[in-house]
Structure 1
């Protein structure tokens, strides 16, 4: 899948739309997405759907009513000038009351913003959008297609594998995101392999149990993935062959969004 054709994939469209609506990309990447949405109806529809979802969530958050104390501060700030003409030293008190009002108002706005963030987090989880896809970009990705009788159908995309580099708090991880149009049918565990690009040798990465969306990688398995040409999923721990291979897909390294256009 090359050129602008890959942006018609619903998973990629949904990912770019979520990034755009949540204002995650840099200005350069944002401008690129705005250009692409004019050329690709699927991406434009995804952005509209995300925008409407966020707008509906915003409408559901009840407005915060000011407390009695806040109204009292407002009243004091309005009547303070007439008092100040009689007591010049009251200027500092008026300044403090005004400051207190804005501090209280700012706290209320912060609470409302936090509430919106929590609701969005819950809504994203319900939509099966994995959090790292919104907060960061993967280092490697592979588009997986089924293998039937040793024959691969590259046009039949079932899921995407995204590999993330380790952070200060989390290890390197391999995430699996299935297509909404063709959900997972095989409910047995799958074993992940990486085929080395230079020699073609197979390296065992680990087992993906049913229902698990991620697989932690150590230094050895991360190196195997980073040096691979393909990722392969099998039914057992035996090396991939025509009988046990379920899915296969090319593994590519992604450039940084901050340095390159989409």
Structure 2
């Protein structure tokens, strides 16, 4: 089923409207980008579980890509098991269900290629959308409408995770949003990425004032602290995104 929200175009100006005072009374909403694979080391799945436990402890609502396998499924199951179905919203394009939802062709459990009903009692609410752009726009919109401590977090993942992480980092630099963007650096997984940012700053492609947009966290509790304490970078572009 396609959410009503997907029948209308979601413009950048809709996403970038500044938070109002009403947001201060809302709880935090955190979008987590992560792999639909469990990885080759159990530390990655353990990190996803740990982050889910911390989300529940801090009454954080999870928005994620809607998958039921790999790290995606692990964090969703963990949060729902501790905070209930209303604490998780998965947003997934129709085409990606074949790879990111258990029981479909191409996933870790391909034995049943027929229709799969994703249980809200296990994974929370799921919204199906037509494309990747709508998925990312809706996830970002929920984060921006959340209360203090809302933001974007990347667990370990592949090309898609990196692309989503850097899009939100770029949007921050462009002034589209001012939420925290955090890398959960599990056992050095993102060390190379951190080095690249430092190289880009020294080479003059990222200003020193924007070198700290993307923040590292080494454990689940630090992820929450970094989101709560996040400071908008002084070098952000002061652009007007309210024009349609």
TM-score normalised by structure 2 residue count: 0.28
Which structure: larger Rg?
1
Structure number with higher relative contact order (C-alpha < 8 Å, ≥ 6 residues apart): 2
